[in-house]
Amino acid sequence: MYRQSIYEQPTEELAILKHYGLDTLYPEVWVEENDSRKSTRFSHIEGPSQPINGNTTAPGDERFSWDDSDPLGLKPNVFWNDPLPPKTSNNQEIYENIKEKSQLLVCTKSFYPKLFLRRVHKDTSYDDLAVGAQTLRYTLEQKSEALRNLVQDNFDRFVSAKTTIDTVYGEMKAQSLNEESEYGVKGLDHALSEASDKAEQLFGPVLTNRRKAEKIRSTLSLLEKYKFFFNLPSNLMESIKQQKYDVVIRDYKKGKIVLESTMSTTSTNNNTESTTATSSTTATSISDNNSMERETTEDTALAAQYRKVFDKVWAEIEKIMEEMKDQLFKQLTEHWRSMEEQEKIINILLELDTVEDPVWHYLDSQYKYIIDLLKESYSEQLDKIIALKKSLQVTSTDPKDLALRLKKAIRIVNIRDFDALAASKDMDVQIWKATLEIVKSLSDLLLRCLPDFWKLSKSFIEGKFQKNPAILSANRRRRQAMDLRKVEQCQNMAKSVIDLYASLLSEFFNLIPPSSPYSYSYLQSPALLSPLPQDTNSNNNSDDYLLSFVPPQSDSVTSCYFLTKVLHEMSECVNDINAINMSADASCELFSIMEKTRWKFVEIICDAWNSDAKSFYLLEDWTLDQDNREITNFLRNFHIFHKYNSRCAYKIASLDYVSDKDDSKGSSKITDAYLKKIKGAFLDSLYSYLDGLVHLVFSEYVPLEPSHDKEPIDFIHKSRIDPTSMDSRILLTVSNLSNLKQMMIPRIVSQFESAYKCSMSEDTKTLNDVVDQLDGILFEDYIKRKTELVRYIVVDGITSGEINWYSISKPTEVHSFVYEALLSLVLVHAEISDITKPLVNRALSVLLENMALNCLEAFQKVEKFGMGGMLQATLEIEFMHQTLSQYVTPQAQETLQLIYTTIEQLYDTSQESGNLESELSSVKQLLVESRKNTSLQFLCFKKPK
C-alpha cells in the first residue's frame, strides 16, 4: 500500500508526525516510543517542506531512528570524528550527507563494511579490532538468545492470534468477501471508474491547458535563466565586428561551460522526474497513473527539445567561431599588419585550439611574401634603371665633357654642397641615384620584414607559443621530430631570405660569375639584353652600357660619393641584421657579400681615379690661386680630387664609411690587398697628373668651356698672362711643380701614410725625382728660347763686322747691342715677375751665365784688340756685369773672368800711346755715367734694399 511521505503532508500533520516521531500517517511497523525519540547526531535535522531532488524518503526510511552506536563497541558512535552538517545546508546537501552516513550504520540496508572500517576505525589497531570482533560475536549471540526466549514466552499468544485470523477469514468468505467479488470492493471500483471517466471529461482540457501553460512558463524560465547562452551568437558576431577577440574567447568558453552543465542537468532531471511520476502514480488510481505517464513522456520530449535547441544554438556558435578562425588565418597573410597585431592574432588562434598551427601558417606565409617582395622590388627597380638608360640621352664620352663634369663635382666637394650633387640632372647622377635606390629598397625591405620574421621564428623555436607547457612536456617525444624539422625549416627560411638579398646584389654589381648557383639572371628584364641604337657621338658599346651598373661617363668624384652612400646603406642593413643574432651561416653570407662589394667598389674607384687623373690636365684654365698667386687653381683642384678619392677609398676599404669627417687619422687597419690596390692608384694618379703638366705646356691651349658658357671673370683673381703663350704656361707650370714638390706631395703623402699606416719614403723620393726631371725639362726649354734671343743679339753685335775691335777709337759710350741684350732680359724679368716672381733670380742667373758664355764665345772669335777695342770690350762687359750683379753666380763669375782674360790675351800692347791706368780710369768714369744714364731702364735689376 502506498505510504504518503512526510514531505507531502500539510503543515499541521507535519507537526503531529514530528511530535510522535513518525514519518507517515499510515505506519506499517511499530516503533517503540523510546526508540523514535532517541537522541542522535541527526536529531537537529528537520524535514524539509519540499521533496529533496524528487525523493520522498531517505534510504531505508530510517532517517529519524538510526542507531549510530559502534557495533564493535570501540567508539562512542560511528560519527565520533565527523563534523556536524551545518544547519544552513540546503535540502540537496542534507540528502547527500544522510546518504553517505547511512553507509556507516549497520542497521541500514546500504551498510558498507569496507567504508565503515576505513572511516570509523581507520586509526584502530589490529588488536583492538580483534577485541571488537569478539564483542560483535557476543552481542549477536545475546540477541539470538533473546529472540528464542521471546518466541517461547509468547507462543500461546501467537496461537491465539492465528486462530482469530482464521475465524475472521472464514466469516469474510461467508459474507461474499471472496476473490470473485474482489473482496467486496468490486462495486466500489466500478463507481470510482465512472467517476474517474467523468472527471477526465470535465477536467482533461483544463489539465492539458495547464500543462501547456506550465511548458510555456518553463520555457520562459529557461530562456530567462540561459539568456546569456541564447544571446551568445549575436554577441559573438558583434564582438568580432568590433575586433574584440578577447571578449569573443571569454564568452565562447563561458558558453561552452554553460552548455556542458546544462546538458548534464537536463539528463539528471529527466531521470528524477520520471522516478517521481512513477511514485505519484502508485499513490493514486489507475487513471491517474495513465495521465501521469503521458505527462512524463511529454516532459521527456520537452527536455529533448531543449537539448535540440541548445545543440542548434551551439552549432550556430561553432559556425561563427569557425568563420572567425578563417578570418584570423586570413589576417595572418595580410602583411601590412604590424608584428604586435599578428602576435595577438596568433595567441587568439592558439586559445581556440585550431587544427592548423597559426605560428607556422604565419611564418610560411611571411617567408613567401618576403621572397616575392624582394624579387619583385629588384625586378621593378632594375626595369626602371634600364628604362632610364634608354630614355635619357647618352652623354658624350668626349674627354672635355667628362672633364667638365669632374670640374663641377670637385667644386661641389670643395664647398661640401653634396645636396647639389645629388640634385644634379646629369645622366650619370640619375643612374647613380637609381642604383642607390635599388640597394636602399632591398635593404629597407630586408630590415622591415626579416627581424620580425626571425623574432617570431625564435619564439616559435623556443616554444614560447605553446599554450600549456605541461602538455608540451608530455607530448615531447611524439612531437620532437616534427618540431626539429620546423626549427630547421625556420632557420633555412631566414637564411634563404639573406641569401636572396646577397644574390640579388651580387647579380646587380656583377660580383659573381653568371654560372653561379646564386645567380638570379631570370629576374632581369628582357630589355637588359636589347642593344640601344648606336650613338655616333659616343664610343661606348651599347651592351656594356646597359649591363654595367657604373655609368660610363661618370667621373671618379661622383662615383666615390654614390659608392660610399650605397655601401653605407648596405652596412647599416648588415649591421642591423647581425644584431638580431641569427645563425652563423647567415652572418657569413652577409660578411661575404660585404667583402665582395667592398673590393668591387675599391676597384671601381681606383680605375675611375686613374682615368680622371690622365685627363685632369684639361681642368687647367690658368686661373691663379686666391691665396698664392704664384700658382694656379689647378693644384688646389687636384688636391681636392686626390684627397676625396683617397678618403673614400679608405672608408670603403676600412669599413669606416659612416662618418663624413676627415679620416686622415683613421684607426681601422687596412688589409695588404686593399693597401696595395689603393696605393697603386694613388701613385699612378700622381704620375698621370705630372704627365698632364707636360701636355699642358706643349699643347695649344683650348678653353674647356666656350666663352659664352663661362662664368663672369673675376679680374682681381685672374692671371694677367696669356694662356695661349707657351712661355707663360711653362713659367706657371714650373711654379706649380715647385709648390707640388715643396708643399703638396709632402702633405698628401703624409695624409696617406697616417691613414693607411704605411711608409712611402721611397715612393716620395721617386716622385720628387720625377718632379725635378719635369722641372728641368720645362725650365730648360724656356731658358733655351730666351738664351737664343740674347745670344743672337750678343754674338751679332760682337762678330757682325760693324765693330773693328782692333782699330776702334777710345770708347765714348756702351754699344747698342749690350743695351738690346739687357733690355731683352728686362722683358724676361717683367714676364717672369708678372707670372711667378720667385723664378726671377733663377731664370736671370741662368740667362746671365748663358749670356756670359755667348760673349766669351764671340770675343774668342776676335783676332786682335787694339787699345780702343780692348777698352770698349772691357766697358761693355763691365757694364753688363755691374748691371746684373745680383744675378752673378760663381759659374757666371768664372765665365766673366775668362772674358776679361781673353780680351787681355788678344790685346795688342803695341798700340798703347799713353798711360794705360789713365785710360782705364776714364773708362771707369764713362761706366759710371752710362749706368747712371740707364738706371731707369734697368731698375728691375737693382738689388732690393
Identify the residue whose cell numbers are 565562447: 252
Q: Read off φ and ψ for residue 624, nearest 5 degrees.
A: -75, 145
Q: How far is CA 261 from the centre of its chain?
A: 50
DSSP 8-state assignment for residue 9:
S
3-class secondary structure per residue, 423-437: CCCCHHHHHHHHHHH
Rounded-to-integer distance, Cα 696 and Cα 735, Å: 14
Rounded-to-integer distance, Cα 422 and Cα 904, Å: 78
Name which of 219-223, 793-797, 884-888 the model is least confident about. 219-223
Rounded-to-integer distance, Cα 932 and Cα 945, Å: 18
- 330-342 burial by CB neighbour count: b if 16+ within 10 A, else e? ebbeebeeeeeeb
CA distances from 795 to 504, 807, 824, 853, 861 (A): 78, 19, 14, 10, 10
807 Cβ partners below 8 Å, 6+ apart? 866, 868, 869
What is the rounded average pLDDT of the residues 812-819? Answer: 91
What is the rounded average pLDDT of the residues 398-419? Answer: 85
Rounded-to-integer distance, Cα 604 and Cα 549, Å: 11
Condensed to tens digits (0 to 9), the pLDDT of residues 492-520 reads: 888 889 999 999 999 999 886 433 333 33
Condensed to tens digits (0 to 9), the pLDDT of residues 586-598 reads: 788 888 899 999 9
Degrees, nearest 5: CA angle 448-449-452: 100
Condensed to tens digits (0 to 9), the pLDDT of residues 742-763 reads: 999 999 999 999 988 899 999 9
β-bridge mates for residue 632, sequence order: 624
pLDDT band at 394, cuts 50/70/90?
low
Cα–Cα nearest to 84, from 41, 148, 48: 41
Classify burial at 554, counting beta carbons within 10 Å of its beta carbon; exposed 0-12, middle 13-18, buried 19 or more.
Answer: buried
SS3 content of the chain, % helix, strand, coil (to 5): 70, 0, 30
The winner for highest mean pLDDT among 193-197, 291-295, 300-304, 418-422 is 193-197
Query: Helices in 392-426 by DSSP H: which ranges?
Result: 399-415, 418-422
What is the rounded average pLDDT of the residues 723-732? Answer: 89
pLDDT value for 553: 79
Q: Read off φ and ψ for residue 281, nearest 5 degrees.
A: -65, -35
Handedness of CA 891, 896, 897, 901 (dihedral sign): positive
User: Are the C-beta atoms of residues 622 and 735 closer than 8 Å to each other?
Assistant: no
DSSP 552-567: TT--HHHHHHHHHHHH
CA distances from 136 to 3, 199, 556 (A): 35, 59, 117
pLDDT value for 256: 80
Condensed to tens digits (0 to 9), the pLDDT of residues 684-705 reads: 999 999 999 888 888 888 887 7
Other C-beta atoms lying within 10 Å of the C-beta of residue 583: 15
Condensed to tens digits (0 to 9), the pLDDT of residues 612-637 reads: 999 999 998 888 888 888 888 899 99
What is the rounded average pLDDT of the residues 717-736? Answer: 80
Check whether 414 has a pLDDT greater than 80. Answer: yes
Query: Helices in 837-944 by DSSP H: which ranges?
Result: 839-859, 867-883, 890-906, 916-933
Check whether 563 has a pLDDT greater than 50. Answer: yes
Three cell numbers at 767?
A: 716622385
Rounded-to-integer distance, Cα 382 and Cα 740, Å: 45
- 742-751 burial by CB neighbour count: b if 16+ within 10 A, else e? eebbeebbeb
pLDDT value for 760: 92
pLDDT value for 690: 93
Check whether 737 has a pLDDT greater than 90. Answer: yes
Rounded-to-integer distance, Cα 158 and Cα 139, Å: 27
Three cell numbers at 11?
A: 503543515
pLDDT value for 211: 79
DSSP 8-state assignment for residue 510:
T
Rounded-to-integer distance, Cα 40 and Cα 37, Å: 9
pLDDT value for 54: 36
β-bridge mates for residue 624, sequence order: 632
Rounded-to-integer distance, Cα 443 and Cα 332, Å: 24
Rounded-to-integer distance, Cα 423 and Cα 412, Å: 12
Helix (H, G, I), strand (E, B) or coil at 52: strand
Condensed to tens digits (0 to 9), the pLDDT of residues 604-618 reads: 999 999 999 999 999
pLDDT value for 186: 74
pLDDT value for 848: 94
User: Are the C-beta atoms of residues 888 and 881 closer than 8 Å to each other?
Assistant: yes
More confident call, 202 vs 221:
202
Helix (H, G, I), strand (E, B) or coil at 75: coil
DSSP 181-199: TGGGTHHHHHHHHHHHHHH
Degrees, nearest 5: CA angle 38-39-43: 115
More confident call, 141 vs 302:
141
β-bridge mates for residue 52, sequence order: 55
292-296 contacts at long range (C-beta below 8 A, 24 or more positions apart): 295/211
Residue 464 carries which side chain, given as an amino acid letter?
K
Q: Read off φ and ψ for residue 865, nearest 5 degrees.
A: -110, 125
pTM above threshold 0.95:
no
Rounded-to-integer distance, Cα 425 and Cα 429, Å: 7
Check whether 567 has a pLDDT greater than 80. Answer: yes
pLDDT value for 655: 67
User: Are the C-beta atoms of residues 560 and 543 closer than 8 Å to each other?
Assistant: no
Q: How far is CA 902 from the centre of its chain?
A: 92
pLDDT value for 562: 93
DSSP 680-748: HHHHHHHHHHHHHHHHHHHS----SS-GGGSPPP-TTTS-SS-TT-HHHHHHHHHHHHHHIIIIIHHHH
pLDDT value for 858: 92
Three cell numbers at 187?
A: 462495486
Angle between helices 245-283 and 339-351 (to 10 degrees): 20
Q: How far is CA 894 from the centre of its chain?
A: 82
Check whether 471 has a pLDDT greater than 50. Answer: no
Rounded-to-integer distance, Cα 114 and Cα 45, Å: 27
3-class secondary structure per residue, 97-112: HHHHHHCCCCCCCCCC
User: Are the C-beta atoms of residues 771 and 690 closer than 8 Å to each other?
Assistant: yes
Condensed to tens digits (0 to 9), the pLDDT of residues 270-296 reads: 544 444 444 443 333 334 444 444 444
Condensed to tens digits (0 to 9), the pLDDT of residues 444-468 reads: 999 988 888 887 777 777 666 655 4
More confident call, 426 vs 738:
738
Name which of 187-201, 677-691, 798-812 the model is least confident about. 187-201
Check whether 707 has a pLDDT greater than 60. Answer: no
Three cell numbers at 421?
A: 650633387
Rounded-to-integer distance, Cα 423 and Cα 420, Å: 5
pLDDT value for 66: 62
Condensed to tens digits (0 to 9), the pLDDT of residues 829-846 reads: 999 988 888 899 999 999
User: Are the C-beta atoms of residues 626 and 719 closer than 8 Å to each other?
Assistant: no
Three cell numbers at 620?
A: 687647367
Check whether 669 has a pLDDT greater than 90. Answer: no
Three cell numbers at 807?
A: 782699330
Three cell numbers at 595?
A: 667583402
Other C-beta atoms lying within 10 Å of the C-beta of residue 556: 28
% of the chain with per-residue pLDDT over 90 = 28
Angle between helices 633-654 and 584-614 (to 10 degrees): 160
pLDDT value for 25: 67
Q: According to CATH, what is the number of the domain 784-941?
A: 1.10.357
What is the rounded average pLDDT of the residues 930-939? Answer: 90
pLDDT value for 741: 93
CA distances from 515 to 375, 498, 510, 545, 623 (A): 19, 20, 12, 21, 53
Classify burial at 147, counting beta carbons within 10 Å of its beta carbon; exposed 0-12, middle 13-18, buried 19 or more.
Answer: exposed
Enumerate the domain spans of the chain.
6-172, 187-332, 784-941
Q: Read off φ and ψ for residue 52, nearest 5 degrees.
A: -90, 110
Identify the residue whose cell numbers are 544547519: 87
Helix (H, G, I), strand (E, B) or coil at 865: strand
What is the rounded average pLDDT of the residues 918-937? Answer: 89
Three cell numbers at 921?
A: 780710369
3-class secondary structure per residue, 616-663: HHHHCCCCECCCCCCCEHHHHHHHHHHHHHHHHHHHHHHCCCCCCCCC
Identify the residue whose cell numbers are 532531471: 269
Condensed to tens digits (0 to 9), the pLDDT of residues 38-90 reads: 434 434 333 333 333 333 344 444 444 567 788 888 888 887 776 655 555 56
Name which of 154-158, 435-439, 844-848, 894-898 the model is least confident about. 154-158
What is the rounded average pLDDT of the residues 700-713? Answer: 63
pLDDT band at 379, cuts 50/70/90?
very high
DSSP 289-306: HHHHHHHHHHHHHHHHHH
